[in-house]
Structure 1
Amino acid sequence: MSALPFSKISAPLNGLLAAVGLVAVAALTTPDLAAATKLALEFLLAGIWAIYVLQLIGTLIKQRTRNVRDSMPALVVDVLAVLVPLAAFLLDGTRDQSLYCAIWLLKPLRDSTFFRLMGRVLTSEARNLIGVTSVFAIILFGAALAAYLIERDVQPDKFGSIPQAMWWAVVTLSTTGYGDEIPQSFAGRVLAGLVMMCGIGIFALWAGLLATGFYEEVRRQDFVRNWQLVAAVPLFQKVGSAALVEVVRALRPRVVPAGTVICRKGDIGDRMFFIVEGRVSVATPNPVELGSGSFFGEMALITGEPRSATVSALTEVSLLSLYAVDFQMLSKSSPEIAEIIRRTAHERRGGTSDSSFSAGEETKSTS
Structure 2
Amino acid sequence: MTKQKTFKRFLFGLLEDTGDHRVAARAIRQGIVVLIVLNVALAVLETLPEVRASYDGILIYVQLLSGLIFVIEYGLRLYVSDLHPPLRRYGPLGARLRYALHLDAVVDLIAALPFLLVIFLPDNSFTVVVVLRLLRFLKLARYSPAIRSLLQAIASERWALMGATMIVSGVILLAATVMYLIENDAQPDKFNSIPHAIWWAIATVTTVGYGDVVPVTGLGKTVGGFFMLLGYGLIALPVGIIASAFAREIHSRDFVVTWSMVARVPLFEDLKATEIADVARLLQAQKVKAGKIIAEKGDVADRMFFISEGTAEIELNSGTVYLSNGDFFGELALIHQRPRKSTIKAFHDCDLLVLEAHALQLMMEKAPGLATKILKEAERRHDEALNAAGDLASEELAQADVVRGEEDTDQSEMFSDDKARPEDVSDDEKPSS
Structure number with bigger Rg:
1
1:137 equivalent in alignment to 2:192: no
Structure 1 distance, partners of 2:226, 2:291, is: 62
Counterpart residue number, 1:224: 256
Q: What are the superposed Cα offsets for residues 244-289 of structure 1, whole Å, 9 maximum, x if unpaired?
A: 11112222477878864113579999x7224679987599xxxxx9
Distance 1:295 1:315, change over 3 A: farther
Structure 2 distance, partners of 1:176, 1:258, is: 47
Counterpart residue number, 1:240: 272
The residue identity in structure 2 corresponding to 1:64 is Y
1:78 equivalent in alignment to 2:114: no
Q: How many residues align?
A: 329
Q: Is the 8 A contact 2:183 2:215 kept in 1?
A: yes
1:23 equivalent in alignment to 2:37: no
1:210 equivalent in alignment to 2:281: no
Distance 1:201 1:258, change over 3 A: closer
Counterpart residue number, 1:147: 179
Structure 1 distance, partners of 2:61, 2:133, is: 13
1:54 corresponds to which of 64, 68, 77? 68
Q: Which runs of 5+ in 1 are unaligned?
A: 31-36, 284-288, 348-353
SS in structure 2 at match of 1:250: coil
Structure 1 distance, partners of 2:291, 2:373, is: 30
Q: Is the 8 A contact 1:21 1:48 kept in 2?
A: no
Structure 1 distance, partners of 2:155, 2:42, is: 35
Structure 2 distance, partners of 1:292, 1:267, is: 18
The residue identity in structure 1 corresponding to 2:105 is M
SS in structure 1 at match of 2:236: helix
SS in structure 1 at match of 2:344: strand
Distance 1:54 1:279, change over 3 A: closer
Per chain length, whose mean CA-contact separation is higher, i.e. which structure has more relative contact order (CA < 8 Å, sep 6+)?
1
Counterpart residue number, 1:14: 36
Q: Is the 8 A contact 1:121 1:213 kept in 2?
A: yes
Structure 2 distance, partners of 1:100, 1:123, is: 29
Q: Is the 8 A contact 2:164 2:238 kept in 1?
A: yes
Alpha-carbon RMSD: 4.6
Structure 1 distance, partners of 2:345, 2:373, is: 25
SS in structure 1 at match of 2:189: helix
Which deviates the most, 56-65 or 226-235? 56-65
TM-score, normalised relative to structure 1: 0.71
Q: Which runs of 5+ in 2 are unaligned?
A: 1-10, 16-27, 82-98, 317-321, 397-433
| 1:91 Cα deviation from its structure 2 partner | 3.4
Q: Is the 8 A contact 1:252 1:320 kept in 2?
A: yes
TM alignment of 1:1-367, pairs within 5 A = 10-28=32-50, 38=53, 41-58=55-72, 59-66=74-81, 67-68=99-100, 69=102, 71-82=104-115, 89-91=122-124, 97=126, 101=130, 103-113=132-142, 116-252=148-284, 260-264=292-296, 272-274=303-305, 294-295=330-331, 311-313=343-345, 320-323=353-356, 326-327=359-360, 328-329=362-363, 331-333=365-367, 334-336=370-372, 357-358=389-390, 361=393
Structure 2 distance, partners of 1:154, 1:238, is: 79
The residue identity in structure 2 corresponding to 1:60 is G
| 1:51 Cα deviation from its structure 2 partner | 2.2
Q: Is the 8 A contact 2:332 2:378 kept in 1?
A: no
SS in structure 2 at match of 1:228: helix
SS in structure 1 at match of 2:203: helix
Structure 1 distance, partners of 2:247, 2:364, is: 25
Q: Is the 8 A contact 2:341 2:390 kept in 1?
A: no
TM-score, normalised relative to structure 2: 0.61
Structure 1 distance, partners of 2:329, 2:210, is: 63
Q: What are the superposed Cα offsets for residues 299-352 of structure 1, whole Å, 9 maximum, x if unpaired?
A: 99x9xxxx98874249788964125785434642433477579999xx9xxxxx
Identical pairs, percent: 25
Q: What are the superposed Cα offsets for residues 76-118 of structure 1, whole Å, 9 maximum, x if unpaired?
A: 43145446767985337xxxx4795254333344143455433
Q: Is the 8 A contact 1:158 1:165 kept in 2?
A: yes
Which deviates the most, 272-281 or 126-135? 272-281
The residue identity in structure 2 corresponding to 1:16 is L
The residue identity in structure 1 corresponding to 2:124 is L
